[in-house]
Structure 1
Amino acid sequence: MRKIIILYVFFGGLFLNSCTKFLDLPPKNQRAVETLADLKSVLAGYLDAFARSNTQPIYGVMPVVTEAHQMMFEAHSDNFDFEANMSQYVNVANPGANPHAKEAFYADKLLLNDRVTIDAIWTKYYEVIGFLNALIDQSEELREADPAELKRVQGEMLVHRAYYIFKLQQYFAPMDNEELGIPLYLHTGKEVVGIKMKRKASSEIYAVITEDLKRALAYFQEVGPNAGYSRFFNERYIQNLLAQVYWFKAESSSKKAEDYIESEKYALAAIDGTEGYIPKTVVSFRNVQKNLDPEYPAVYMKSVGFGTVAPIYGSPYAAPANLKVNQDFFNSFDAGDLRKETYFVGNVHSHNWPDDTFSKTLHLHLFTPEEAYLILAESYYRNGKADLALTTLNKFKSFRGAVAKSGLSGELLLDEIIKERRKEFYCDTDKRWLDMKRYKVGAMERNLRFFNKNYNIKVEPGDYHYALPIPLSELQENPDIFPNEGWTTIVF
């Protein structure tokens, strides 16, 4: 078998130095990969971060949604009453940096001007895609490898790559413009020379994602996992992600008639056998959040930075604290809803959430059965099965101690599903912002004062704010890419 060299020139460098220059860069590192064991060893340096919270992957970020990432999407959303909280946010009592630095932090976050975080998402996610491209390409050359184990490793890589491609598409592609999908190329090596990294049609991007996930699912159903190695290579997780992809795509410019049929199928498979693991009390709900239930069927990750989400969510020690939320949102909770007791103290945000500890570190779960349940409810509705949709929604409400609904149909039923998603995914990574984007809901207007100047930010449903700005470095270096219109950078 010929010797294989993996060159670590990936999309991180590609997008910082323009797509067309990516193979002109000198390799950061190289390693001879001659066997499947070599390939698994290289990949393990990335996968280890999904098993241990104190480990940084060799490419990408840990957690896959960072603290800055989560706080930015919360600041882009409508759960909190940011105007009412300003005296808590920009406050000399806040621990950490001096008040001037804190004012800059909040100005960027609350005026939707956080280019540093947006650029980091673009760079780091493409970096991992490039890393996986190289390994997937090289895996095809391992002719003497054990076929079953090779499929497990390839399946693992395909699911991870699909996840990052999907998130970039969700973040940077408009819902209603088919031609403005993300740039993407899936190979490495000599065949890349001379290509132009233009934005692809969104339908092409979704085709890549679904084909990779279905290939990985077929591999899993053929060979099963390697229990000590596999992270995303899990039948339930793959089905969950497929349900998410088809569900999101179904309201985009790339929608097809069968999308909700597919999301129904995969969501139904993803929840199979999970009802007993879904928390139904305040204690079990908190325990899942803190990863104290090892049987809970989802991928768990947490950060290790003390206090790192406190600037938006509040601190138990000083300001910000007693943060006010959108009053209509607060009023949407039933009195007996366990989430109300968990999320709030009185009518303000509990500083114990979203991490449910005093340490204010970020906790997240990927591929949860709760997400699949709510996708299933909506898919039933969209597929003309209103009775099943309402039954599924009410079953889900029963898990949380919420009051069942009766007689809902049409837009009232859909509206109730959207409200349930908002309550379930409060402070959960990017979910509320993506729901606002997908459903075209939640007009926002903010009148805020920073550095002795008044700023007005108005966000209308479906407007340009729901496709994040392409990083300036990419626009400057890549002549083949087209920007997302509307964005201007505020210079304070």
Structure 2
Amino acid sequence: MKKGNLINTWGMVFMIMLSGCGEFLDPKPDNSLVVPSSIADVRALLDNTNVFNRQPVLNIHAGDEFFITEAGLAGMSNSEVGTYKWLDDPFQGDRIDDWFVPYQQVFYANIALESLENLPSSDQPELDQLRGEALFHRGYAYFQLLQEFAPAYQKEGGNDALLGIVLKNSPDINEKAVRSDLESSYQQVLDDLNRAVSLLPENQVPKTRPTKAAALGALARVYLVMFEFEKVSESAMEALSIYTGRFDFNELDVSQSRPFVIFGDETVFYSELVSVRLSSSPEVFLDTLLMEKYEEKDLRFPAYFDSVGINRYLYRGRLTGNFSLFGGLSVGELELMAAEGLIRTGREEESLEIMGSFLSRRYEEGKSPELQGRGDDLLRRILEERQKELVGRGIRFSDLRRLNQETGFSKTLERTIDGNLVKLEPESPKYVFPIPQEEIQLTGIRQNER
């Protein structure tokens, strides 16, 4: 039986565990069996930030937040260039971390979950917490995979007839790879994250460890792309009631090259996007139409961007405090999800209240705009603020996929490549990334239409 690259991935992860995780994984008599044997082992496994606190990045290349000059493209990897150009074969033979990293996380999480089942229950609260962390990481990883390697969740239904992702809920490397349907894939994510909510503590240090608020925030993200807007607002507002830290941009020193610090009050859960050349290239600039959305007193403009020429803005406003792109959960994202969920379910006054508080911490003191709109006008403003707030986070591509299903909110993306205008239409199959070809050849799972 063909076991495939997913199985090769599990094997590679086993080797990584042997070579890169220190001494906490003591080999058993059978050297093929290397598993955590204590609570401390599982804790060390789940604290591996090089595994769990990374997430896909190529969706940024395929979106509409940045444009890359020809000089910039010349210095990038094949997959970065191919994804940016919306090529039929966007990866051009590259190894794709956007696929490998989440499945590595799934494997580690499954090892932790299986190990916890075999540990004595003398310290049940700690076992439950670790189980909650593993479930969070698995659900979060599956969600990331769904945003790139499966079709967008369909507002009008029929998701059980669409292909989802390969769900691996066991560390068994001999388990055959089979793609689940899209509905089942999303239900798995919801199951994992809801169980995580019930098990995780309200607070943890450092912020690379998930908390109850982080799991609720992740649930809000999932419900948002599933068009479950009442659940979006419920989850986001509960997260905001648990995580009480708030950061006012008036307190930033925008003269600093990196105005934000790692693990600041704005960060609910810390994760970085996979490192690529886009994140450090001086030839990657913000989309000019996006830049026009920032108003004069909006403090995100000087905090997020450096002007280096006419219509040339470099992105520096990363909650990582360094060159890495932030992909975790923030207070601002939670507030904007809550506001969108509320306005879409007819609770305009509550949505306005959240937006007023949010904007008061993003504009110069006393200069935040007073929102007057209602209905679709307010919704459009919330979506605009979402685009401005969450730039460079790996979220915009998912927003495009869901908004393309709504009348009046869809968008055709355009780029000039080698002097030619190319377009990405709202219903293009190129909103779904192909599964790496090596995977298809080895497992026989069905490829995405491209």
TM range (shorter): 0.7 to 0.9
Q: Give the structure 1 partner of residue 65 of structure 2.
A: 79
2:311 and 2:40 mapped to 1: Cα distance? Answer: 48
Length-normalised TM-score, structure 1: 0.73
Partners of 1:305 and 1:475 lie apart in 2 by 25
1:142 to 2:107 alignment: no
Instruction: Kindly report which structure 2 residues correspond to 1:385-404, keeping only aligned pairs within 5 A, or say none.
Output: 385-401=347-363, 403-404=368-369
1:246, distance to aligned residue in structure 2 (A):
1.4
Amino acid at match of 2:165: I
- Cα deviation code 1:14-71 (max 9, x no counterpart): 651x66x88999974584499986353255145142xxxxxxx3xx47x503xxx53x
Which structure 2 residues correspond to residues 180-329 of structure 1 after superposition, within 5 A? 180-189=163-172, 196-220=176-200, 227=204, 231-250=208-227, 259-272=228-241, 277-281=246-250, 283=252, 290-291=260-261, 294-301=264-271, 309-311=279-281, 314=282, 320=283, 323=285, 325-329=286-290
Relative distance call for 1:106 and 1:281 in structure 2 (3 A) is same
Change over 3 Å in CA distance of 1:400–1:208 after alignment to 2 = same
Q: With structure 2 as the length reference, what TM-score do the two structures score?
A: 0.79
Deviates more, 1:382-391 or 1:367-376: 382-391
Asked whether the 8 Å contact 1:160–1:232 carries over to 2, the reply is no
Aligned AA (2:230): I
Q: Could you say what secondary structure the match of 1:404 adopts?
A: coil
Kept in 2, the 8 Å contact 1:390–1:408? The answer is no
Hey, what's the Cα distance between the residues in 1 that align with 2:133 and 2:165? 23
Q: Displacement of 1:405 after TM fit?
A: 4.7
| Cα distance in 2 between the residues matched to 1:80 and 1:229 | 31
Q: Kindly provide the amino acid, as one letter, of the partner of residue 40 in structure 2.
A: K
Identity rate of aligned residues, in percent?
20
Secondary structure of 2:414's aligned partner:
strand
Partner amino acid, structure 2, of 1:329: L
Answer whether contact 1:155 1:215 (CA < 8 A) is retained: yes
Distance 2:144 2:391 in 1: 19
Q: 1:144 to 1:80 in 2, by over 3 A?
A: closer
Amino acid paired to 2:163: L
Distance 1:380 1:230, change over 3 A: closer
Comparing 270-279 with 288-297, greater Cα deviation is found at 288-297
- The CA deviation string for residues 136-174 of structure 1, in whole angstroms up to 9 with x for no partner, is 123112234421111111111111111101111122111
Aligned residues: 416
Instruction: Flag the 1:200–1:400 CA change in 2: closer, same or farther, 3 A.
Output: same
Q: Distance in 2 between matches of 1:118 and 1:442?
A: 30
SS in 2 for 1:182: strand
1:84-123 equivalent positions in 2, closer than 5 A: 85-86=69-70, 88-89=71-72, 107-113=81-87, 114-115=90-91, 119-123=96-100
Name the SS of the counterpart of 2:38 in structure 1: helix
2:429 to 444, 450, 464: 464
**What amino acid sits opposite 1:371 in the alignment?**
E
- Give the secondary structure class of the aligned counterpart of 1:373: helix
Question: How far apart, in 2, do the equivalents of 1:233 and 1:418 lie?
Answer: 27
Offset, 1:421: 0.6
- 1:381–1:389: 8 Å Cα contact kept in structure 2? yes
The more displaced of 30-39 and 122-131 is 30-39
Shift of residue 272, structure 1, vs aligned partner? 2.0
Q: What one-letter code is carried by the residue in structure 2 that aligns with 1:478?
A: T
Task: For residue 406 of structure 1, report the CA deviation from its aligned partner.
Answer: 3.8
Is 1:378 the counterpart of 2:344? The answer is no
**How much has 1:398 moved relative to structure 2?**
2.0
Secondary structure of the residue aligned to 2:164 is coil
Aligned-partner residue type, residue 61 of structure 2: A
With over 3 angstroms needed to count, the CA separation of the structure-2 counterparts of 1:443 and 1:48, relative to structure 1, is same
Quick check: 2:150–2:164 contact (8 Å CA) kept in 1? Answer: yes
Displacement after TM superposition at 1:289 (Å):
5.8
**CA distance in 2 between partners of 1:336 and 1:434 (Å):** 29
Structure 1: which 5+ residue stretches go unaligned?
A: 1-12, 50-56, 91-98, 251-258, 315-319, 487-492
Aligned alpha-carbon RMSD (Å): 3.8
Asked whether the 8 Å contact 1:39–1:135 carries over to 2, the reply is no
Q: Does 1:425 align with 2:403?
A: no
Q: Is residue 484 of structure 1 aligned with residue 448 of structure 2?
A: yes
Which residue in the other structure is 1:4 paired with?
none
Asked whether 1:174 is paired with 2:151, we answer yes
| Shift in CA distance, 347/435, structure 1 to aligned 2, threshold 3 Å | farther
Partner of 2:44: 44
Q: Which whole-Å CA distance do the structure 2 matches of 1:242 and 1:407 have between them? A: 30
Mapped pair 1:332 → 2:293: yes
Shift of 1:366: 1.5
Q: Kindly indicate whether the alpha-carbon contact (under 8 Å) linking 1:309 and 1:360 is maintained by their aligned counterparts in 2.
A: no
Change (3 A) 1:26 1:282: closer
Q: Distance in 2 between matches of 1:152 and 1:162?
A: 15
| CA shift in 2, pair 1:291/1:48, >3 Å | farther
CA–CA distance in 2 between the matches of 1:280 and 1:265? 26
CA distance in 1: counterparts of 2:13 and 2:370, whole angstroms: 61
Change (3 A) 1:148 1:34: farther
1:118–1:468 Cα contact (<8 Å) kept: no
Q: Could you tell me whether the CA contact under 8 Å between 1:277 and 1:297 is conserved in 2?
A: no
Deviation, structure 1 residue 298: 2.1
The answer for unaligned runs of 5 or more in structure 2 is 19-24, 405-409
For 1:197 and 1:105, how far apart are their aligned partners in 2? 24
SS at match of 1:461: coil
Which residue identity lines up with residue 353 of structure 1 in the other structure? R
Q: 1:276 to 1:361 in 2, by over 3 A?
A: closer
Match of 1:438 among 395, 398, 402: 402
Please give the alpha-carbon distance, in whole angstroms, between the structure 2 residues aligned to 1:426 and 1:110: 17
